[in-house]
């Protein structure tokens, strides 16, 4: 995991969203194989976009509260928040450039 | 100690142009070779070929039949079954077919092509992530105690339908004509999946899936629709061997067609475009030879 990626839980989720202007939260689970495909991509983006986008990872198995609150029914799902307001989420594994472009469009 | 039924130098997954050429090249290098998959699932099967060197015009089916004959003539074993599990331990690979055959091999060549994933019916795109899923093993947990439909006739759908019976309150298995092995079909049906033979027409729901409409006009009240077309996704299984596919479901290879894990090779459509028989066969030739050399320690 990149040093710029933050592990989120039901407890620190809200403060992370509130404390950063642009946030991407990767909702994942250990047994979800496509989720592991996304990990290196998000690690790279966390490094490349450090200071502009805060990237967090939320294990949906260990943190059911947030999954329930945001109606997550597929993983990986990337929740995106701009100034605390939820944007259209990205569902499924996406190429790095697509995720980057989407985040840039929110800056 | 586990006793494997069959032991090979090289196991090739996929019976299209890439897989068969890999089998020809591998067996000509004196490696004990098995090639697995269903040739009729190959993209080449329904194609007309007129852009392949040395062939003026032929059907894909003709080329596949000749390729199978060639592979056999060099000593390769052909097994017309889908692989549903792959694993590795201590330098050996283990593959399990849908009929329950276990195979052990020193090298694996992944030549399974690119699977069609999308059904292309109304509501599918709009409700993706809102009840529509392409990965039952990823999303099963979100449907505890709720009714779902699994769409697809092959091994992927059969495995998913069985899996979902452990979570959902009701599982409809929507398939016009089941194409999965008897073994997998029985498992899904015995677990309680209810077969539905009318083709799907539309997925409906406002912000969440509420029903699946069928061609015969009936409606299945479901909260989840799992679209699992074709054979068990090889890119998914390849991850169990340590291979990391790209977000597009392709496998990156080096000039030897190694997939980045020792003993694992990939060739054909799964390594990326152009999806042409010439590219598939060319890559298969190199991958088969490299796998044979690796397995035989040459």
User: Is B247 in the A-facing interface, judged by CB distances under 8 Å?
Assistant: yes
Q: Is the pLDDT of residue B3 over 80?
A: no
**pLDDT for residue B100:** 87
ipTM of the complex: 0.77
Strand partners, A82: A22, A85
Inter-chain contact B244–A37, Cβ cutoff 8 Å?
Answer: yes
Considering chain A, what is the average pLDDT of its residues?
93
What mean pLDDT is predicted for residues B274-291?
97
Within the 75-94 window of chain A, which residues sit less than 8 Å (CB to CB) from chain B? 75-77, 89, 91-94
Predicted structure pTM score: 0.78
Helix (H) or strand (E) holding B235, with range, is helix B234-238
Q: Which of A28, A34, A59, A97 to mutate to test the interface with B (most CBs of B within 10 A)?
A: A34
**pLDDT for residue B2:** 42
Inter-chain contact B134–A75, Cβ cutoff 8 Å?
Answer: no
pLDDT, tens only, B5-52: 689 999 999 999 999 999 999 999 999 999 999 999 898 998 999 999
Query: Torsions phi, psi of B9, nearest 5?
Result: -75, -50
Cβ-based contacts of A61 with chain B (< 8 Å): 141
B61 CA to chain A: closest CA distance, Å?
33
Q: Which band of pLDDT confidence, cut at 50, 70 and 90, is reported for residue B244?
A: confident
User: Is A31 in the B-facing interface, judged by CB distances under 8 Å?
Assistant: yes
Q: Which band of pLDDT confidence, cut at 50, 70 and 90, is reported for residue B266?
A: very high
What mean pLDDT is predicted for residues B260-284?
95
What mean pLDDT is predicted for residues B216-238?
88
Inter-chain contact B139–A37, Cβ cutoff 8 Å?
Answer: no
Q: Which of A72, A91, A95 sits opposite B248 (nearest CB)?
A: A95
Q: Helix B60-73 to helix B17-28 angle, to the nearest 10 degrees? A: 20
Residues B103, B61 contacting (CB under 8 angstroms): no
Inter-chain contact A35–B130, Cβ cutoff 8 Å?
Answer: no
What mean pLDDT is predicted for residues B219-241?
87
Q: Is the pLDDT of residue B1 over 50?
A: no
């Amino acid at each position: 995991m990149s040093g710029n990626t933050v592990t989120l839980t039901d407890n620190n989720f809200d403060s992370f969203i509130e404390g950063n202007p642009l946030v991407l939260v990767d909702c994942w689970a250990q047994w979800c194989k496509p989720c592991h495909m996304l990990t290196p991509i998000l690690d790279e983006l966390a490094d490349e976009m450090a200071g502009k986008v805060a990237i967090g990872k939320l294990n949906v198995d260990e943190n059911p509260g947030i999954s329930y609150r945001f109606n997550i029914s597929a993983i990986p799902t990337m929740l995106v928040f701009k100034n605390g307001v939820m944007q259209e989420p990205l569902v499924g594994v996406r190429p790095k450039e697509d995720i980057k472009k989407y985040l840039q469009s929110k800056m | 100690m586990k006793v494997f039924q069959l032991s090979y130098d090289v196991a090739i997954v996929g019976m299209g142009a890439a897989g068969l050429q890999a089998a020809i090249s591998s067996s000509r290098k004196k490696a004990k070779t098995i090639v697995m998959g269903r040739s009729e699932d190959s993209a080449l099967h329904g194609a007309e070929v007129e852009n392949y060197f040395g062939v003026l015009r032929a059907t894909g089916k003709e080329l596949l039949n000749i390729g199978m004959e060639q592979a056999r003539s060099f000593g390769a074993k052909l097994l017309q079954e889908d692989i549903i599990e792959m694993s590795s331990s201590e330098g050996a690979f283990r593959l399990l077919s849908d009929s329950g055959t276990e195979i052990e091999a020193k090298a694996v060549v992944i030549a399974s092509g690119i699977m069609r994933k999308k059904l292309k019916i109304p509501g599918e795109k709009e409700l993706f992530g809102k009840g529509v899923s392409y990965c039952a093993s990823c999303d099963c947990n979100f449907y505890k105690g709720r009714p779902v439909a699994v769409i697809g006739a092959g091994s992927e759908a059969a495995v998913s339908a069985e899996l979902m019976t452990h979570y959902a309150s009701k599982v409809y298995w929507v398939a016009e004509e089941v194409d999965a092995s008897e073994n997998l079909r029985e498992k899904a049906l015995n677990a309680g999946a209810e077969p539905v033979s009318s083709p799907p027409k539309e997925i409906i729901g406002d912000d969440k899936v509420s029903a699946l409409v069928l061609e015969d006009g009936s409606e299945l009240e479901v909260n989840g629709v799992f679209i699992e077309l074709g054979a068990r996704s090889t890119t998914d299984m390849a991850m169990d061997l340590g291979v990391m596919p790209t977000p597009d479901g392709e496998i990156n290879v080096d000039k030897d067609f190694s997939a980045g894990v020792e003993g694992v090779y990939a060739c054909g459509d799964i390594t990326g475009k152009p999806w042409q028989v010439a590219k598939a066969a060319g890559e298969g030739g190199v991958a088969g030879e490299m796998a044979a050399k690796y397995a035989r320690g040459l």
